[in-house]
Amino acid sequence: MQHTIKPESQGALTAPMAEAVTKCVHCGFCLPACPTYQELGSESDSPRGRIVIMKEVLEGTLTVADAAPHVDACLGCLACEPACPSGVPYRDLISAYRAKTNPERKRSLTEKLKRTVISNTIPYPSRFQTGARLGRLAKPLAGVMPKAFQPMLGLLPDEPLPPMVVYPPQVSADAGVEPQGRVALLLGCAQQALDPDINDATIEVLTRNGFEVVIPETQGCCGALSWHVGELEDAQKFAINNLGAFPAEVDAVITNAAGCGSGIHEYPLILKGTTAEPAAQAMAERTCDISVQLMRLEKLAPIPALDRPLRIAYHDACHLANAQGVRQPPRDLLRAIPGVEIVEIPDGGTCCGSAGTYNIDQPEIAAALGQKKANLVRELAPDLIVSGNIGCLTQLRTHLSQDGGPNLPVRHTVQALRDAYIGVLGK
Ligand code: SF4
Ligand code: SF4
């Protein structure tokens, strides 16, 4: 079905925003959970403060420009949601507010240029990889680059980027394994360029466990990066493309990047008021993280025991834990590897500062959070750090390599599992 997006679909975001604002009783229980409140210590940079600020803008008593510094400083980590006893759906407010006020935002030329570079590279894996390769060459010159571009260069890996992988449209389940169904895989854009091995590992683990994996050729960016910075039209365009690309005849759409998974779960809001809303709802319901799909199995394919015990520090990606409520399945999956012990990072799952393009847009706060996380992880002295989101993995690697301490390995959950299957985990 051809979906039509009318310009007035933006108006459909008003009701969810109003509901979020109305539900807040200003109790303040969310304040201690908010990383920016912890960092900046001001009410205006807390969830409660931001809800009031956004309400005032929507009611016309505060300007978009006055609200901007506080709204921009929000990570979108959604740690405020599980902390809220009134069930305020903050997610329905923050991105919708950004989309609604984006046309009124005044930005400097450098800021506009940076946003153009980001929106024309990261969502397109080959362009992103070319850009990242050029960026690596420019890294030694970062000091003389415009300040707005320096954080982008700082996040690029020092090692050469791996080649992109082209996958066949489908991969069969391993022969001799009991069939468990047919799933479709979203490849993720930054992930395909920065660490394609995560998708290799996902396909290997799924097929070993009896799943046939469909990899739609026309899939694209999930749209989350655009949606979280208020680019509604782009987000809708990406969502519509994926609604057409992913077949309905699969048991699940699998995501292995927390940001992409949460992005697809937001399709009903992104496409609210359009003819695509029911299809968006159906796709969101079919979509789940790789760890969730694997833990639905009665029994995982047998995993060989490790040669030695392995302590894994598991970092909750906000867009997995807070946005999708997925905390236990990745831990259960890792514990299923005989010899693995999970050690918890003692900060209640606070954001590492990655948060989509936040570490590019708000580098100071992002760096403070990244460094805090790296310090806490180091104190645990794990053998391995594991998380379920390419953004978090990049942020953790960047900050763990900055303080001169031992360079701890950082892997995706599904890479750890695949490595255990092939007998190389911890070697
Ligand atoms: S905890 Fe919920 S209700 Fe209380 S101030 Fe925060 S968002 Fe509002
Ligand atoms: S989304 Fe995160 S940073 Fe933003 S208000 Fe909520 S807890 Fe704070």
The model's pLDDT over 6-43, given as tens digits with 9 standing for 90+, comes to 544 567 888 889 999 999 999 999 999 999 999 999 99
Distance CA 152, CA 54 (A): 29
pTM of the model: 0.92
Nearest CA to ligand 1 atom 2: 84
* 294-336 per-position pLDDT tens digit: 999 999 999 999 999 999 999 999 999 999 999 999 999 999 9
Instruction: Determine the distance from the C-alpha atom of residue 315 to the mean position of all C-alpha atoms in its chain, rounded to a whole number.
Output: 13
- Owner of token pair 């940079």: 45
* 340-372 per-position pLDDT tens digit: 999 999 998 999 998 888 878 888 999 999 999
Cβ atoms within 10 A of the Cβ of 345, count? 19
Cβ atoms within 10 A of the Cβ of 68, count? 18
Sort 89 into a burial class: Cβ within 10 Å, 0-12 / 13-18 / 19+.
middle
Edge-to-edge strand ranges of the sheet holding 384-387? 340-344, 310-315, 384-387, 410-412
Distance CA 14, CA 88 (A): 15
Atom of ligand 1 nearest to the CA of 83: 1
In the structure encoding, which two tokens stand for residue 38, read together?
């912890």
Instruction: Determine the distance from the C-alpha atom of residue 207 to the mean position of all C-alpha atoms in its chain, rounded to a whole number.
Output: 24
From residue 181, alpha-carbon distances to 203, 246, 253, 302 in Å are 14, 16, 12, 18
Question: Residue 120 in contact with residue 127, Cβ under 8 Å?
Answer: yes
Give 388 Cα–ligand 2 centroid separation in angstroms: 20
Distance CA 31, CA 348 (A): 14
* Whether the CB of 20 sits within 6 Å of ligand 2: no
Give 81 Cα–ligand 1 centroid separation in angstroms: 8
Nearest CA to ligand 1 atom 3: 24
Q: What is the pLDDT of residue 301?
A: 97
DSSP H helices in 84-223: 90-101, 109-121, 125-138, 150-155, 189-194, 197-208
Which domains does the chain show, CATH number per domain? 7-104 (1.10.1060.10), 310-421 (3.40.50.1860)
Nearest to residue 174, comparing CAs of 292, 290, 302? 302
Give 111 Cα–ligand 2 centroid separation in angstroms: 23
pLDDT at 153 over 90: no
* 186-227 per-position pLDDT tens digit: 999 989 988 999 999 999 999 999 999 999 999 999 999 999
Question: Residue 402 in contact with residue 378, Cβ under 8 Å?
Answer: no
Say how many residues make up the chain.
427
The residue whose CB lies within 8 Å of the most ligand 1 atoms, and thus the one to mutate among 86, 91, 93, 322, is 86
